[in-house]
Amino acid sequence: MSHRGTARKAGGMQHAGGRVMYQEQRKRVFRRQAWGRVLGVRGCTEQRMDISFLFSVAAAGQTVPGAPTARRFTVDDFEIGRPLGKGKFGNVYLARLKKNHFIVALKVLFKSQIEKEGLEHQLRREVEIQAHLQHPNILRLYNYFHDARRVYLILEYAPKGELYKALQRSHTFDEQRTATIIEELADALIYCHERKVIHRDIKPENLLLGLMGEVKIADFGWSVHTPSLRRRTTCGTLDYLPPEMIEGRTYDEKVDLWCIGVLCYELLVGNPPFESASTSETYRRILKVDLRFPPSMSSGARDLISKLLRFQPLERLPLVRVLEHPWIRAHSQRVLPPSVPMAF
């Protein structure tokens, strides 16, 4: 082959290599833009995202009194500590802002896993909903950012860990602790429902405990914001599914009333009320509202649970009346935790 031929071949290889590099660069840009859309941001960069804390409100051209200003974060802004939990899509770590030593929980999610399961929009919905909620019994989402491979959620740190693990250790809770948790949850869910948010998956695994032992709703992965408060999607956890979800009927925020009834029973007894050896038997018992109370359960607790676990959603005890229920009033020791100044 002549020198010219060799040079031409080399030039062709270089051109092909450049085309491949260009195509790879284009793919990276498209992926970056796609994740920007998932998180509600346009024109974001891999290394730094400039996003408003309440981005959906800001996008609508509205202002929120007291809303924190936009802040750019990268993982280099944090000192990363011990792992707090591990999941299918990533891990949660104890972390501290280098600038002011503010302690947070940093939830690190792998984009590849989220994309593989097709859950990008569920993540966006979770972020949108939780970023708007500010209540002492709801875990705060302070901010979020992403890089080439991961999404980072900056969350409030709950020092006393998971309610589920606490229940496993003690098997059951006494009436005082259970009533306190139910009052805290009822108040938090009233707050959510007033803002047209249905949680749909209240259970011990999705609840954390703050510094004073107060409960914190921590997982909004199945939550939905719907102005009409009416949905048809089946979601949530088997033992906590209400009859209307199993039957595929349209449902509203009253699914959360069913869930706190199931939770109240589980905290007092150690297992959910309709737990069975098979899925079909669990479904059957839920649809029949086959509720069996142990002899040790007090009449007050039975009364509250039986008024929440009603087949017809309209017959379930409203949350404001849960707060006023004699059993709650007699046993709850709820104390509001001190507010923590925001470091963002």
Residue 304's nearest CA partner among 265, 259, 251 is: 265
Has 137 been labeled as part of a binding site? no
Average pLDDT taken over every residue of the chain: 80
Has 46 been labeled as part of a binding site? no
Longest Cα–Cα distance of the chain, Å, equals 98
> Is 70 exceeded by the pLDDT of residue 279?
yes
Has 196 been labeled as part of a binding site? no
**Residue pair 194/202 in contact by the 8 Å Cβ criterion:** no
For residue 33, the tally of other CB atoms under 10 A from its CB is: 14
> Is 80 exceeded by the pLDDT of residue 51?
no
Model pLDDT for residues 199-234, shown as the tens digit of each residue: 888 999 899 999 999 999 987 765 555 544 443 444
Q: How far apart are CA 341 and CA 78, in angstroms?
A: 18
Amino acid at 339: S
Residue 251 pairs in a beta bridge with 231
Model pLDDT for residues 288-343, shown as the tens digit of each residue: 999 999 999 999 999 999 999 999 999 999 999 999 999 999 999 998 766 666 66
Has 142 been labeled as part of a binding site? no
Task: Identify which has the larger pLDDT, 145 or 54.
Answer: 145
What is the pLDDT, as a whole number, of residue 66? 36
For residue 122, the tally of other CB atoms under 10 A from its CB is: 18
Q: Which residue has the tokens 């959910």?
A: 272
Task: Identify which has the larger pLDDT, 73 or 86.
Answer: 73
For the segment 256-285, the average pLDDT, to the nearest whole number, is 96
Catalytic residues: 201
Q: How far apart are CA 253 and CA 313, in angstroms?
A: 9
DSSP 59-112: HTT---TTPPPP----GGGEEEEEEEEE-SSEEEEEEEETTT--EEEEEEEEHH
Structural domains of the chain ordered from first start: 55-61+70-155 (3.30.200.20), 163-331 (1.10.510.10)
Task: Identify which has the larger pLDDT, 49 or 202.
Answer: 202
Q: Is the pTM of this model over 0.85?
A: no
Rounded alpha-carbon distances, angstroms, from residue 212 to 254, 329, 338: 29, 20, 9
